[in-house]
Amino acid sequence: MVNIIDVARQAGVSKTTVSRVINNYPHISPDKRRQVMEAMEQLGFVPNPSARKLRGQVTTTIAVIVPKIVNPFFAYLVDAIEQEGYRQGYQTLICQTNEHKSKEIAYLDLLKNKQADGIIMAAIENDWADIEPYTAFGPIVLCNEYVNQNDVPTIRVDQHEGTYTAIRHLIERGHRKIMYCTGGLFTDFGKDKDRNQAYQRALEEAGIAINPNWILVDRHTIEDGKKVTELILDMSDRPTAVFTGSDEIASGLMMAARKAGLHIPNDLAIIGFDDQPIAEVLSPSLTTIRQPIARMGKQAVDMLVQLMDQQPLSTSLSKLPVELVIREST
Protein backbone atom coordinates (compact mmCIF):
# COMPACT_ATOMS: atom_id res chain seq x y z
CA MET A 1 0.00 0.00 0.00
CA VAL A 2 1.46 3.36 -0.99
CA ASN A 3 1.25 5.87 1.81
CA ILE A 4 1.90 9.46 2.57
CA ILE A 5 5.55 8.82 3.29
CA ASP A 6 6.13 7.27 -0.10
CA VAL A 7 4.60 10.35 -1.65
CA ALA A 8 6.72 12.62 0.53
CA ARG A 9 9.88 10.83 -0.48
CA GLN A 10 8.98 10.91 -4.16
CA ALA A 11 8.14 14.61 -4.01
CA GLY A 12 11.13 15.47 -1.85
CA VAL A 13 9.10 17.02 0.93
CA SER A 14 7.96 16.07 4.41
CA LYS A 15 4.84 14.07 4.99
CA THR A 16 3.34 17.07 6.72
CA THR A 17 3.46 18.97 3.48
CA VAL A 18 1.81 16.10 1.68
CA SER A 19 -0.93 16.05 4.27
CA ARG A 20 -1.40 19.76 3.78
CA VAL A 21 -1.79 19.33 0.06
CA ILE A 22 -4.31 16.58 0.56
CA ASN A 23 -6.33 18.76 2.88
CA ASN A 24 -6.04 21.93 0.83
CA TYR A 25 -4.22 24.04 3.32
CA PRO A 26 -3.88 27.61 2.15
CA HIS A 27 -0.20 28.41 2.61
CA ILE A 28 1.83 26.14 0.39
CA SER A 29 4.20 27.21 -2.35
CA PRO A 30 2.75 26.42 -5.76
CA ASP A 31 5.94 24.59 -6.57
CA LYS A 32 5.72 22.08 -3.79
CA ARG A 33 2.04 21.64 -4.28
CA ARG A 34 2.64 20.68 -7.87
CA GLN A 35 5.42 18.29 -6.93
CA VAL A 36 3.23 16.59 -4.41
CA MET A 37 0.31 16.33 -6.79
CA GLU A 38 2.54 14.74 -9.38
CA ALA A 39 3.95 12.29 -6.91
CA MET A 40 0.46 11.28 -5.76
CA GLU A 41 -0.56 10.80 -9.35
CA GLN A 42 2.50 8.75 -10.25
CA LEU A 43 2.21 6.48 -7.27
CA GLY A 44 -1.55 6.12 -7.43
CA PHE A 45 -1.86 7.33 -3.88
CA VAL A 46 -5.21 7.26 -2.13
CA PRO A 47 -5.48 8.46 1.48
CA ASN A 48 -6.31 5.73 3.94
CA PRO A 49 -9.71 6.44 5.47
CA SER A 50 -9.01 4.33 8.53
CA ALA A 51 -6.00 6.37 9.41
CA ARG A 52 -7.87 9.60 8.85
CA LYS A 53 -10.78 8.48 10.94
CA LEU A 54 -8.48 7.27 13.66
CA ARG A 55 -6.47 10.43 13.83
CA GLY A 56 -8.79 13.17 12.78
CA GLN A 57 -11.82 14.72 14.31
CA VAL A 58 -13.84 14.40 11.18
CA THR A 59 -14.77 11.38 9.12
CA THR A 60 -16.78 13.05 6.34
CA THR A 61 -18.99 10.02 6.59
CA ILE A 62 -22.65 9.82 7.42
CA ALA A 63 -24.70 6.71 8.01
CA VAL A 64 -28.31 6.04 7.12
CA ILE A 65 -30.14 3.28 8.94
CA VAL A 66 -33.08 1.54 7.29
CA PRO A 67 -34.96 -1.61 8.23
CA LYS A 68 -34.99 -3.17 4.77
CA ILE A 69 -33.36 -1.95 1.61
CA VAL A 70 -35.70 -4.05 -0.56
CA ASN A 71 -38.57 -1.85 0.51
CA PRO A 72 -38.70 0.64 -2.37
CA PHE A 73 -39.59 3.50 -0.07
CA PHE A 74 -36.33 3.06 1.78
CA ALA A 75 -34.38 2.37 -1.38
CA TYR A 76 -35.47 5.71 -2.79
CA LEU A 77 -34.78 7.46 0.49
CA VAL A 78 -31.31 5.97 0.72
CA ASP A 79 -30.68 6.96 -2.87
CA ALA A 80 -31.68 10.56 -2.18
CA ILE A 81 -29.50 10.70 0.92
CA GLU A 82 -26.53 9.11 -0.76
CA GLN A 83 -26.66 11.52 -3.66
CA GLU A 84 -27.13 14.63 -1.57
CA GLY A 85 -24.44 13.48 0.83
CA TYR A 86 -22.07 12.87 -2.05
CA ARG A 87 -22.80 16.34 -3.38
CA GLN A 88 -21.88 17.80 -0.01
CA GLY A 89 -18.70 15.77 0.26
CA TYR A 90 -19.86 12.98 2.52
CA GLN A 91 -19.53 9.28 2.07
CA THR A 92 -22.75 7.51 2.99
CA LEU A 93 -22.78 4.26 4.91
CA ILE A 94 -25.94 2.34 4.14
CA CYS A 95 -27.03 0.27 7.11
CA GLN A 96 -29.80 -2.33 7.11
CA THR A 97 -31.14 -3.53 10.46
CA ASN A 98 -33.53 -6.12 9.16
CA GLU A 99 -35.63 -4.87 12.05
CA HIS A 100 -33.21 -6.22 14.64
CA LYS A 101 -32.74 -4.08 17.70
CA SER A 102 -29.21 -5.30 18.26
CA LYS A 103 -28.16 -4.44 14.71
CA GLU A 104 -29.54 -0.95 15.15
CA ILE A 105 -27.46 -0.48 18.27
CA ALA A 106 -24.40 -1.84 16.54
CA TYR A 107 -24.84 0.78 13.83
CA LEU A 108 -25.27 3.55 16.38
CA ASP A 109 -21.86 2.54 17.68
CA LEU A 110 -20.52 4.02 14.45
CA LEU A 111 -20.86 7.36 16.17
CA LYS A 112 -19.08 6.18 19.27
CA ASN A 113 -16.04 5.06 17.29
CA LYS A 114 -15.94 7.99 14.96
CA GLN A 115 -16.76 5.89 11.93
CA ALA A 116 -19.42 8.41 11.05
CA ASP A 117 -19.97 12.04 11.97
CA GLY A 118 -23.72 11.73 12.05
CA ILE A 119 -26.59 9.35 11.51
CA ILE A 120 -29.93 9.51 9.75
CA MET A 121 -32.45 7.02 11.08
CA ALA A 122 -35.30 6.16 8.71
CA ALA A 123 -36.80 3.77 11.22
CA ILE A 124 -36.52 3.10 14.93
CA GLU A 125 -36.38 -0.35 16.41
CA ASN A 126 -35.30 0.50 19.95
CA ASP A 127 -36.93 2.90 22.36
CA TRP A 128 -35.74 6.45 22.01
CA ALA A 129 -34.49 6.29 25.57
CA ASP A 130 -31.96 3.70 24.44
CA ILE A 131 -30.95 5.71 21.42
CA GLU A 132 -30.74 9.14 22.98
CA PRO A 133 -27.43 8.51 24.81
CA TYR A 134 -25.71 8.09 21.46
CA THR A 135 -26.40 11.70 20.60
CA ALA A 136 -23.56 12.53 22.96
CA PHE A 137 -21.21 11.18 20.29
CA GLY A 138 -22.75 12.88 17.29
CA PRO A 139 -26.00 14.18 15.86
CA ILE A 140 -28.86 11.87 14.97
CA VAL A 141 -31.60 12.99 12.63
CA LEU A 142 -34.85 11.10 12.26
CA CYS A 143 -36.23 10.90 8.77
CA ASN A 144 -39.67 9.45 8.12
CA GLU A 145 -40.02 7.96 11.58
CA TYR A 146 -40.40 10.05 14.69
CA VAL A 147 -40.82 9.98 18.43
CA ASN A 148 -42.84 11.71 21.10
CA GLN A 149 -40.21 14.21 22.02
CA ASN A 150 -39.93 17.80 21.04
CA ASP A 151 -36.23 18.34 20.75
CA VAL A 152 -35.35 15.47 18.42
CA PRO A 153 -34.31 16.71 14.98
CA THR A 154 -36.84 15.25 12.60
CA ILE A 155 -37.77 15.37 8.94
CA ARG A 156 -41.07 13.80 8.15
CA VAL A 157 -44.29 14.17 6.28
CA ASP A 158 -47.56 15.11 7.83
CA GLN A 159 -48.93 11.64 8.39
CA HIS A 160 -52.07 12.95 9.97
CA GLU A 161 -52.86 15.12 6.99
CA GLY A 162 -51.98 12.35 4.56
CA THR A 163 -54.21 9.81 6.19
CA TYR A 164 -56.99 12.30 6.79
CA THR A 165 -56.92 13.35 3.14
CA ALA A 166 -57.04 9.74 2.05
CA ILE A 167 -59.98 8.82 4.24
CA ARG A 168 -61.83 12.01 3.30
CA HIS A 169 -61.30 11.14 -0.35
CA LEU A 170 -62.91 7.75 0.20
CA ILE A 171 -65.80 9.30 2.09
CA GLU A 172 -66.34 11.81 -0.69
CA ARG A 173 -66.47 8.94 -3.12
CA GLY A 174 -69.44 7.76 -1.10
CA HIS A 175 -67.80 5.11 1.05
CA ARG A 176 -68.88 4.57 4.64
CA LYS A 177 -67.39 1.14 5.21
CA ILE A 178 -63.71 1.94 5.22
CA MET A 179 -61.08 -0.51 6.29
CA TYR A 180 -57.83 0.77 7.85
CA CYS A 181 -54.80 -1.35 7.25
CA THR A 182 -51.37 -0.08 8.16
CA GLY A 183 -47.80 -0.92 9.11
CA GLY A 184 -47.01 -0.43 12.79
CA LEU A 185 -49.41 -1.12 15.59
CA PHE A 186 -52.54 0.74 16.56
CA THR A 187 -50.42 2.44 19.16
CA ASP A 188 -50.20 5.75 20.79
CA PHE A 189 -46.94 7.13 19.53
CA GLY A 190 -44.96 8.11 16.44
CA LYS A 191 -46.08 7.72 12.89
CA ASP A 192 -48.91 5.33 13.60
CA LYS A 193 -50.46 7.49 16.26
CA ASP A 194 -50.97 10.27 13.73
CA ARG A 195 -52.41 7.94 11.15
CA ASN A 196 -54.70 6.27 13.62
CA GLN A 197 -55.97 9.55 14.94
CA ALA A 198 -56.57 10.88 11.45
CA TYR A 199 -58.58 7.79 10.56
CA GLN A 200 -60.71 8.14 13.65
CA ARG A 201 -61.16 11.86 13.21
CA ALA A 202 -62.23 11.58 9.58
CA LEU A 203 -64.80 8.92 10.39
CA GLU A 204 -66.10 10.78 13.41
CA GLU A 205 -66.54 13.99 11.48
CA ALA A 206 -68.57 12.10 8.91
CA GLY A 207 -70.64 10.51 11.62
CA ILE A 208 -69.37 7.03 10.83
CA ALA A 209 -68.93 4.55 13.65
CA ILE A 210 -65.67 2.66 13.83
CA ASN A 211 -65.82 -1.05 13.20
CA PRO A 212 -62.93 -2.75 15.03
CA ASN A 213 -63.00 -5.63 12.58
CA TRP A 214 -61.87 -3.24 9.92
CA ILE A 215 -58.75 -2.16 11.70
CA LEU A 216 -55.73 -4.20 10.69
CA VAL A 217 -52.21 -3.56 11.89
CA ASP A 218 -48.69 -4.77 11.26
CA ARG A 219 -49.21 -5.26 7.50
CA HIS A 220 -46.30 -4.44 5.28
CA THR A 221 -45.75 -6.60 2.22
CA ILE A 222 -47.45 -7.70 -0.96
CA GLU A 223 -48.06 -11.04 0.73
CA ASP A 224 -49.74 -9.29 3.64
CA GLY A 225 -51.95 -7.52 1.15
CA LYS A 226 -53.09 -10.78 -0.36
CA LYS A 227 -54.00 -12.11 3.05
CA VAL A 228 -56.01 -9.01 3.82
CA THR A 229 -58.10 -9.75 0.77
CA GLU A 230 -58.81 -13.23 2.08
CA LEU A 231 -59.90 -11.73 5.35
CA ILE A 232 -62.23 -9.37 3.56
CA LEU A 233 -63.73 -12.14 1.46
CA ASP A 234 -64.48 -14.09 4.60
CA MET A 235 -66.35 -11.23 6.20
CA SER A 236 -70.13 -11.21 6.33
CA ASP A 237 -70.00 -7.44 6.53
CA ARG A 238 -67.40 -6.36 4.02
CA PRO A 239 -65.80 -2.93 3.71
CA THR A 240 -66.26 -1.14 0.40
CA ALA A 241 -62.95 0.66 0.59
CA VAL A 242 -59.52 0.08 2.07
CA PHE A 243 -56.90 2.53 3.23
CA THR A 244 -53.47 0.90 3.18
CA GLY A 245 -50.25 2.08 4.77
CA SER A 246 -48.12 1.42 1.69
CA ASP A 247 -48.43 0.84 -2.03
CA GLU A 248 -47.05 -2.62 -1.52
CA ILE A 249 -49.91 -3.83 0.65
CA ALA A 250 -52.26 -2.09 -1.73
CA SER A 251 -50.85 -3.91 -4.74
CA GLY A 252 -51.07 -7.34 -3.10
CA LEU A 253 -54.58 -6.56 -1.98
CA MET A 254 -55.60 -5.36 -5.40
CA MET A 255 -54.17 -8.36 -7.18
CA ALA A 256 -55.91 -10.87 -4.92
CA ALA A 257 -59.17 -8.97 -5.02
CA ARG A 258 -59.11 -8.88 -8.79
CA LYS A 259 -58.39 -12.57 -8.90
CA ALA A 260 -61.36 -13.18 -6.63
CA GLY A 261 -63.57 -11.46 -9.14
CA LEU A 262 -64.01 -8.18 -7.33
CA HIS A 263 -64.14 -5.11 -9.51
CA ILE A 264 -61.95 -2.26 -8.44
CA PRO A 265 -63.03 0.36 -7.55
CA ASN A 266 -66.71 -0.59 -7.85
CA ASP A 267 -66.72 -3.56 -5.48
CA LEU A 268 -63.71 -2.41 -3.51
CA ALA A 269 -61.88 0.90 -3.63
CA ILE A 270 -58.20 0.89 -2.66
CA ILE A 271 -55.92 3.73 -1.70
CA GLY A 272 -52.20 3.33 -1.12
CA PHE A 273 -49.47 5.35 0.53
CA ASP A 274 -46.07 6.48 -0.87
CA ASP A 275 -46.69 6.77 -4.62
CA GLN A 276 -44.03 4.30 -5.55
CA PRO A 277 -43.38 3.74 -9.26
CA ILE A 278 -45.50 0.64 -9.06
CA ALA A 279 -48.62 2.70 -8.27
CA GLU A 280 -48.79 4.00 -11.79
CA VAL A 281 -48.36 0.72 -13.63
CA LEU A 282 -50.93 -1.26 -11.71
CA SER A 283 -54.26 -1.89 -13.35
CA PRO A 284 -56.33 -0.14 -12.30
CA SER A 285 -53.67 2.40 -11.44
CA LEU A 286 -53.46 3.15 -7.76
CA THR A 287 -54.79 6.20 -6.01
CA THR A 288 -52.26 7.01 -3.32
CA ILE A 289 -50.67 9.56 -1.03
CA ARG A 290 -47.43 10.83 -2.48
CA GLN A 291 -44.51 11.29 -0.14
CA PRO A 292 -41.79 13.70 -1.27
CA ILE A 293 -39.05 11.16 -0.70
CA ALA A 294 -36.28 12.99 -2.51
CA ARG A 295 -36.99 16.17 -0.58
CA MET A 296 -37.08 14.28 2.68
CA GLY A 297 -33.68 12.77 1.98
CA LYS A 298 -32.16 16.07 0.96
CA GLN A 299 -33.54 17.91 3.97
CA ALA A 300 -32.37 15.19 6.32
CA VAL A 301 -28.85 15.57 4.98
CA ASP A 302 -29.03 19.34 5.20
CA MET A 303 -30.19 19.20 8.78
CA LEU A 304 -27.55 16.66 9.71
CA VAL A 305 -24.81 18.73 8.12
CA GLN A 306 -25.95 21.78 10.05
CA LEU A 307 -25.79 19.83 13.28
CA MET A 308 -22.39 18.37 12.46
CA ASP A 309 -21.15 21.87 11.75
CA GLN A 310 -22.46 22.92 15.16
CA GLN A 311 -24.79 25.39 13.57
CA PRO A 312 -27.97 26.21 15.43
CA LEU A 313 -31.07 24.63 13.96
CA SER A 314 -33.80 27.09 13.08
CA THR A 315 -36.30 24.37 13.84
CA SER A 316 -35.87 20.81 14.95
CA LEU A 317 -38.90 19.61 13.07
CA SER A 318 -39.61 19.84 9.38
CA LYS A 319 -42.99 18.53 8.37
CA LEU A 320 -43.32 18.16 4.62
CA PRO A 321 -46.66 18.18 2.85
CA VAL A 322 -48.06 15.12 1.16
CA GLU A 323 -50.24 15.03 -1.91
CA LEU A 324 -53.25 13.00 -2.89
CA VAL A 325 -52.72 11.42 -6.29
CA ILE A 326 -56.05 10.30 -7.65
CA ARG A 327 -55.93 7.46 -10.12
CA GLU A 328 -58.30 4.67 -11.04
CA SER A 329 -58.51 2.54 -7.90
CA THR A 330 -60.91 4.80 -6.03
Partner DNA sequence: TTGTAAGCGTTATCAG
Partner DNA sequence: CTGATAACGCTTACAA
Q: Which residues bind a copy of itself (CB under 8 A)?
A: 1, 44, 46-51, 53-54, 68-70, 72, 75-76, 78-79, 82-83, 93-94, 96, 98, 109, 112-115, 137, 222, 248, 251-252, 254-255, 258, 277-278, 280-283, 285
54 is a contact residue toward DNA (CB under 7 A) = yes
Query: Residue-wise over 307-330: b if at least 16 C-beta within 10 A, else e?
Result: bbeeeeeeeeebeeebebbebebb
Q: Out of DNA, a copy of itself, none, which partner does residue 96 contact, by CB within 5 to 8 A per kind? A: a copy of itself
Shortest gap between Cβ of 182 and DNA (angstroms)?
Answer: 42
Shortest gap between Cβ of 237 and a copy of itself (angstroms)?
Answer: 27
48 is a contact residue toward DNA (CB under 7 A) = yes
Separation CA 60–CA 329 (nearest Å): 45
DSSP letter for each residue of 179-226: EEE-SS-S-SSHHHHHHHHHHHHHHHHTT----GGGEE-S--SHHHHH
221 is a contact residue toward DNA (CB under 7 A) = no
* Complex with DNA: residue 19 or 200, whichever CB lies closer: 19
Judge whether 66 and 77 are in contact, CB under 8 Å.
Answer: yes
Site string for DNA, 8-47 (x = CB under 7 A): -----xxxxx-xx-xx--xxxx-xx------------xxx
Judge whether 296 and 319 are in contact, CB under 8 Å.
Answer: no
Separation CA 120–CA 303 (nearest Å): 10
Give, as ranges, the residues between 57 and 86 that touch DNA (CB under 7 A). 57-58
Footprint of DNA (CB under 7 A)? 1, 3-5, 13-17, 19-20, 22-23, 26-29, 31-32, 45-48, 51-52, 54-58
